[in-house]
Amino acid sequence: MLINKKESFTTIKPSFQGNDGKIENIKIFLKDFNKNLSNFKNDNIILDFSNGNNIELKEILLFSQLSAVHKNNDNSFVLVYNGINIDKIPLELVTVPTLKEAEDIIELENIERDLGI
């Protein structure tokens, strides 16, 4: 797991195996993520799967519950992935195609929280 903490969010990216660009098994990543969740439970989180090309919808959906819990704690939870039909992802699971869009979503959600929306 590659973790990059910034002022307003933490980006977490799965580590890669070999040089083929395939992301490690999502279930292993999810288990590792859950073990380390206490380290960034109060952060806005961006899960960056932008370099992965073998992720399926069912694997993305594994993060739905985590997303809901994180949002209930007044934090943002955004996934970056460009390989899935966005219309098939539930609205509760914020998924965008680029890291820049994820950063924009977090900025907007921070403004909404500040305004009490």
- CATH number of the domain bearing residue 62: 3.30.750.24
Strand order in the sheet with 45-48: 2-5, 10-13, 45-48, 77-80, 94-96
pLDDT digits (tens, 9 = 90+) for 69-102: 898 899 999 999 887 778 888 888 999 999 999 9
pLDDT at 19 (0 to 100): 45
pLDDT in tens, 16-65: 554 444 555 788 888 888 898 888 889 999 999 887 667 778 888 889 98
How far, in Å, are 19, 42, 46, 52, 103 from residue 97 at the CA level? 23, 24, 12, 12, 11
pLDDT(117) > 80: no
d(CA 9, CA 76) in angstroms, rounded, equals 8
Q: Domain tally for the chain?
A: 1
End-to-end CA distance of the chain: 33
Q: Give residue 73's domain range.
A: 2-115
Quickly count: other Cβ atoms within 10 Å of residue 114's Cβ: 8
